[in-house]
Amino acid sequence: MILFFVGLLPVLLFTAVDSQSIHDQVPWLPCQFVDEYFVTNEEGHRETKYHHRDAGLQFGQLGDSLVHSELVTFLVTASKVDMRRYVKGGVDTLQCEVRRHSTDGILMRWPGLGAQEHDVWFTCTLRHTEGLFVITTFLRHSPSVPSGVQPDSEQRISVADKDTISTTAVMVVLTNTPSVDVGLMKEQTLNCEYAVDHKSAHLTVEWRLQRRGDRTKIFSYSSRTSKSEGSGVSMKALSRGDASLKVPLTKHASEGTYICSVYVPPLYGSHDINLHIMEPPRVSLSVSSELSLVEGAEQKVVCEATGYYPLDVHIEWLKESLNPGSSRMPDVLKNVMFSSHRHHLDSTYSLSAFFLLKPTLQDSGYRYTCRVSHVALRVPIRKTFSLSVTEESSALGYMVAVGFILAMIGILYVLLSKLHSVREANKRKPY
């Protein structure tokens, strides 16, 4: 690895040796080439149309045999930047997409080796199918003969079926955290990395937060002035090509889309990172795990889910037999009532689900379960209690027996007290 310093900030250069071992493993990737063209509609307005075409991304040198000659092939020749070094997992987990890239009217020669005034730009984006990373690579194509049109105009160079477009990777912008779920009052790092193939005097890195239509700048750095604004990015890490942002003690206002952008004229790369606040509920019951009731008695049973975010939560009560021989599925109780969502100062919510239990003897031996589902939970939370029901007469007899015993104890105590008094009186006689 070689470092070229630009002011206070070095820009990474990766040698061809670094990527050689990966080159042997991934010489070719299937891709979609999302081509675009312009048309004028019936109202006279210009529209952009897209044409999805099967293509391939082949890593090698000019003159190499094509892996799939029947497809449009983007041949990526060796350079100091290699997108494959950032790939995690197998090739079967990758989604590859190539698009034309516009420099938004900025026409200038790329400072890298071999660049020409009439270079044409493409981007190759590699996405992990399970959302582990997104890698965007800028590919520079130098036509052997100038096309005579401006590279950034609507008159794009044509790419026919079976064409081979030779390119060089010159810049990579990636994130390993395209979507993040985090709880409240937690520290979270949003990953953003970059690499370019040359010494750049005009590197700009920015972080912005987009939330409810508003976009706020969080951090910025310009190598032109060697000055930074905002916080959350380590300047030491930034010098290594790591522009990751640290979000301290997440709260409700931390939720939103974070945009990391890297600008090396004339190329501008960015990635959106969605941060979602996910706080799982805490679940409790108003009764103990073993509940005993007299037949005909009433008991209000409450299941409460507290401290969750976002709002959506699902609570249901289930009733099932504890009889080992029973194969019946649990019944979902229909007489359940719900409180309104309660909003707390920390932006979390609470909800109660309750029902009135008036059991019969047939309900004895059943288990009641409160099941709570929420997006922050991998599996629902279950809280249960078992019910035993006794006959009212049995309960009355029990109370009478207890009363009789207490009465007998009281009588015995009185008799013993009198007996003690008599003995004390006899002791005081003069004989």
- When pLDDT is cut at 50, 70 and 90, the band that residue 17 belongs to is very low
3-state secondary structure of 49: strand
Which tokens go with 133? Answer: 């990373």
Provide the terminal-to-terminal Cα distance of the chain, rounded to the nearest Å: 118
d(CA 321, CA 143): 76
- When pLDDT is cut at 50, 70 and 90, the band that residue 263 belongs to is very high
- When pLDDT is cut at 50, 70 and 90, the band that residue 391 belongs to is confident
- When pLDDT is cut at 50, 70 and 90, the band that residue 417 belongs to is confident
* Position with higher pLDDT, 52 vs 4: 52
- When pLDDT is cut at 50, 70 and 90, the band that residue 114 belongs to is confident
As a whole number, the mean pLDDT across the chain is 86
The predicted pLDDT at position 91 comes to 83
The predicted pLDDT at position 78 comes to 86
For the chain, give the longest Cα–Cα distance.
Answer: 145
Residue 125 CA: distances (Å) to CA of 112, 136, 292: 21, 4, 63
- When pLDDT is cut at 50, 70 and 90, the band that residue 396 belongs to is low
Residue in 14, 197, 174 with CA at minimum distance from that of residue 115: 197
* Position with higher pLDDT, 103 vs 276: 276
Mean pLDDT of 397-406: 70
Q: Which residues contact 117 (CB under 8 A, 6 or more apart)?
A: 107, 109
Does the pLDDT of residue 398 top 90, yes or no? no
Beta strands 256-264 and 267-277 are antiparallel
Mean pLDDT of 92-114: 89
pLDDT in tens, 219-257: 999 999 999 999 999 999 998 999 999 999 999 999 999
Residue 251 CA: distances (Å) to CA of 52, 208, 279, 312, 350: 41, 17, 11, 18, 17
The predicted pLDDT at position 199 comes to 78
The predicted pLDDT at position 87 comes to 92
- When pLDDT is cut at 50, 70 and 90, the band that residue 11 belongs to is very low
* Position with higher pLDDT, 4 vs 329: 329
Residue in 280, 133, 157, 275 with CA at minimum distance from that of residue 210: 275
Residue in 218, 127, 215 with CA at minimum distance from that of residue 174: 127
Q: Which residues contact 193 (CB under 8 A, 6 or more apart)?
A: 86, 172, 173, 174, 175, 176, 241, 242, 243, 244
- When pLDDT is cut at 50, 70 and 90, the band that residue 16 belongs to is very low
d(CA 342, CA 300): 20
Cis status, amide bond into 146, omega within 30 of 0: no
Give 330: exposed, middle or buried? Use CB within 10 Å, 0-12, 13-18, 19+.
Answer: middle
pTM to 2 decimals? Answer: 0.78
The predicted pLDDT at position 319 comes to 95
d(CA 261, CA 259): 6
pLDDT in tens, 18-43: 433 344 467 899 999 999 887 888 88
**Domains, in order of start, for the chain:** 2-277 (2.60.40.10), 282-392 (2.60.40.10)
The predicted pLDDT at position 397 comes to 57
Vertex 341 angle, CA 336 and 346, to 5°:
140
* Position with higher pLDDT, 350 vs 421: 350
- How many Cα atoms within 13 Å fall on the side-chain side of residue 137? 26
- When pLDDT is cut at 50, 70 and 90, the band that residue 9 belongs to is very low
Mean pLDDT of 379-399: 82
pLDDT in tens, 131-182: 999 999 999 998 876 655 554 445 578 899 899 999 999 999 999 999 999 9
Among 9-13, 48-52, 426-430, the least confident range: 9-13
d(CA 178, CA 160): 33
* Position with higher pLDDT, 183 vs 149: 183
- How much of the chain exceeds pLDDT 90, in percent? 62
Identify the bridge partners of residue 270 per DSSP, sorted by sequence position: 261
